[in-house]
Chains A and B, each alone.
Chain A
């Protein structure tokens, strides 16, 4: 871990899946508004949160990420009216996969981040990194 990471989150590495149309603009807005969040949060944009493979979550933890955050489309999804349900299913399957592989399922978190949800994203990141500190290392 990088020793210079600001105190509080111990530089825990978080992979955040964002979505091109909804949550990625929300995360952009956090930067545009010059809000601060940990530089250990790395964002990977995809088209829609319902299209995440559970195996990508496991892959990320195996590769060394401490946690994975799904910045879901929620009810704003332009593709699917039931995007939340579908992403929820991906989330549950991914958690099962993590358990089967000896990872704490709490290392995966999901929340809907809308295209203007900058503050919400920042506070989710702070809380998630705090939550991750308490978890046993796999």
Chain B
């Protein structure tokens, strides 16, 4: 190993570290470690002044490695990477050591032991840095075009917003018509705007855009390439297949309506229908609401059908579907408007007309809607007795009185469920959560990004949403794609797998283990070996333990680096 010139900078963090760790003792303990050329402390390493001093040290001392021992890498990894780059040091030869979150703050009761641990942690950082090599990001020129899959309200709105930004859009819809569920809906809260009107409006706008191409009766059948430069094949109609080059993909495939099992809250009985079907009945009504030729006078709604399930069910839907309480309360108002003589009983578990929707609940209560809460463990029973529907439920507000209601119609307030999209999931390698919806990287901070770079999930395909939330999510997907594409290029992290072709015997294990199709077979000097497709590898390391020849390493976490770190961590501090 050639002699390294590593700079180690230990941070006081203005007392956050130095109150519980003897920072100077840490510096003294490591300054004579092999490879360490400079060892200093700073009050705030992240401050502009300290960064400037470190840059000078890097340049004056001709450092080829950098250790910053301060806070968690989640905070300042990118700060110091950028600093290294400004100083002319390869940013991947810098290692962050977590002395605050994982040392000083957790061991405030014992300065001596915290200092001891800090020394070990910094030594491990140095050991890792000693074995770093300069790495470079993989730069990919991006295509200024976006593929939007699904032309429901989220997909349509996304397409327009991308077009506004001057990027080209390919909008692919499986059905012969655009609009998804929204097109089928009549009036919606809040403004009583009709779903089909909204869709027509969006459709008209899209027709006027030269940079949007819409394909209906079309399905994505193949994806190649990677972030910024995907090559996509779309089957249009029965036989046509077209090829597209896009930089990003927005998946807006929406949801499906829960289909209750036979007998679940009486589903299957005459007069037991789901909320969307009830919405159609209300829409068609002129005055009275009719079902199968009969006039409906009394309605029972049962909430949370297919949501917040528990107990003895295969793969229960644990989630709340968010839109249904508000949608049912609103529909009761629409029904009342058609026929104020109606009696409507709402059997609910918890009303979640959250945010601004609360007024719908208030209003429904003033319009002949009676709300009866049922216990999770004691759900209502729906039967047909002597030709009549009968619903039994216990009313908590009368001390558990068992009520028997004979409605003309039972409306099951059904949940949103994920669409069956197995083919698309397989083609795009989309991550699917336990609930069957697509998985984001971080529910709060990165809600539309997926682990597949350049593929974004928006609308109800990601989780149940109201239309307003779907559109917000769609626009968030647009800004993420635009942020990616408008720069013109994308730099990929170099911490990915590498193959030792001398050891590799091509047994396929790594290919099978890789969820991203990032391993391919190549021939090197007549020998078949594995090769990592850099743009596809995410550096998870899933291929590492399956290799029988130990021929794979992840850059930044190589076998020698990890072992050197373990040795440094266990070495007595002083």
* A residues whose Cβ falls under 8 Å from a Cβ of B: 2, 4-6, 13, 15, 20-21, 24-25, 27-32, 34-37, 39-40, 42-48, 50-56, 59-60, 63-65, 75, 78-81, 86, 89-90, 93
B residues less than 8 Å from A48 (CB atoms) = 540-542
CB pair A47 B107 closer than 8 Å: no
CB within 8 A of B562: which of A21, A44, A75?
A44
Segment at the A interface, from B117-125, B208-216, B268-276: B117-125
Smallest distance from the beta carbon of B98 to chain A beta carbons, Å?
7
Once the chains bind, are A36 and B541 in contact (CB under 8 Å)?
no
CA distance A80 to B106 in the complex (A): 30
The 7 closest A-B pairs by CB, nearest first: A51-B541, A31-B101, A31-B105, A79-B540, A28-B101, A39-B113, A31-B106
Q: A42-B117, A51-B542, A75-B434 are in contact. Are A31 and B102 (CB under 8 A)?
A: yes
Least CB distance from A53 to B in Å reads 5
A13 to B109, CA, bound (A): 18
Interface flags for B352-389 (1: CB within 8 Å of A; 0: not) read 00000000000000000000000000000000000000
**Chain B residues with CB below 8 A from A37, complex form:** 106-107
A79/B542 in contact, CB under 8 A? yes
B565 adjacent to A51 (CB under 8 Å): no
Does B439 touch A at the CB level, under 8 Å?
yes
- A54 and B545 in contact, given A32-B105, A39-B116, A43-B102 (Cβ under 8 angstroms): yes
* A35–chain B nearest beta-carbon distance, Å: 7
Select the stretch in B40-48, B238-246, B460-468, B566-574 that faces chain A: B566-574
Q: How far is the CA of A51 from the CA of B553 in the complex (A)?
A: 10
Q: Which residues of B contact A59 (CB under 8 A)?
A: 563, 566
Q: Is the CB of B102 within 8 A of A28?
A: yes
Bound Cα distance A46, B541 (Å): 9
Q: Mark B509-531, 1 if CB is under 8 A from A, else 0.
A: 00001010000000000000000
Residues of A within 8 A of B506 (CB): none
- CB within 8 A of A51: which of B74, B441, B557? B557
Complex Cα spacing A38 to B432, Å: 37
- List B residues 64-89 near A (Cβ within 8 Å): 72-74
Nearest CB on A from B267, distance (A): 31
Chain B residues in 8 Å Cβ range of A2: 113, 116
**Bound Cα distance A53, B559 (Å):** 8
B102 cross-chain contacts in A, Cβ below 8 A = 27-28, 31, 43
Decide if A39 touches B563 in the complex (CB within 8 Å).
no
What are 6 A-B contacts defined by CB distance under 8 Å? A25-B72, A39-B107, A40-B113, A45-B73, A75-B434, A79-B542
B296 on the A face (CB < 8 A)? no
Q: Which of B74, B110, B565, B570 sits near A6, CB closer than 8 Å?
A: B110
Contact pattern, B 440-456, Cβ under 8 Å of A = 1, otherwise 0: 01000000000100000
Q: Contact: A31 with B566, CB < 8 Å?
A: no
Q: Which residues of B contact A89 (CB under 8 A)?
A: 545
- Does A34 contact B108, Cβ atoms closer than 8 Å? yes
A128–B263 CA distance with the chains assembled, in angstroms: 49
Q: Are A32 and B101 in contact (CB under 8 A)?
A: yes
Residues of B close to A54: CB separation below 8 A:
545
Q: How far is the CB of A40 from chain B (nearest CB, A)?
A: 8
B441 contacts A78, CB within 8 Å?
yes
B495 contact set on A, CB distance < 8 A: 47
Q: Tell me if B103 counts as interface (CB < 8 A to partner A).
A: yes
- List chain B residues, Cβ under 8 A from A75: 434
Answer whether residue B325 sits at the interface, using C-beta atoms and an 8 A cutoff: no
Contact with A along B416-443 (1 / 0, CB 8 A): 0000000000000001111000010100
If A39-B113, A47-B495 touch, whether A31 touches B545 (CB-CB below 8 Å) is no
Least CB separation from A33: chain B residue? B105
Q: A35 contacts which chain B residues (CB < 8 A)?
A: 106
**For the complex, what is the distance from the CA of A52 to the CA of B543, rounded to whole Å?**
10
- Out of A21, A28, A39, name the residue touching B98 (CB < 8 Å): A28
Set B113, B434, B542: member contacting A86, Cβ < 8 A:
B542
Seed contacts A5-B113, A39-B114, A60-B566; 11 additional CB < 8 Å A-B pairs? A13-B570, A24-B74, A28-B101, A44-B124, A47-B540, A48-B540, A53-B545, A59-B566, A63-B570, A78-B441, A79-B542
Q: What is the chain A residue whose CB lies nearest that of B121?
A: A42
- Nearest Cβ distance between residue A75 and chain B, in whole angstroms? 6
Chain B residues with Cβ below 8 Å from A40 are 113, 117
Chain A residues near B72 (CB, 8 Å)?
24-25, 28
Contact B114 A50, beta carbon cutoff 8 Å: no
Q: What distance in Å separates the Cβ of B262 from its nearest Cβ neighbour in chain A?
A: 31
Closest to B542 in A: A50
* A64–B120 CA distance with the chains assembled, in angstroms: 14
* Contact, CB under 8 Å: A80 / B515: yes
| Contact (Cβ within 8 A) A56 B563 | yes
| Interface membership of B539, Cβ < 8 A | yes
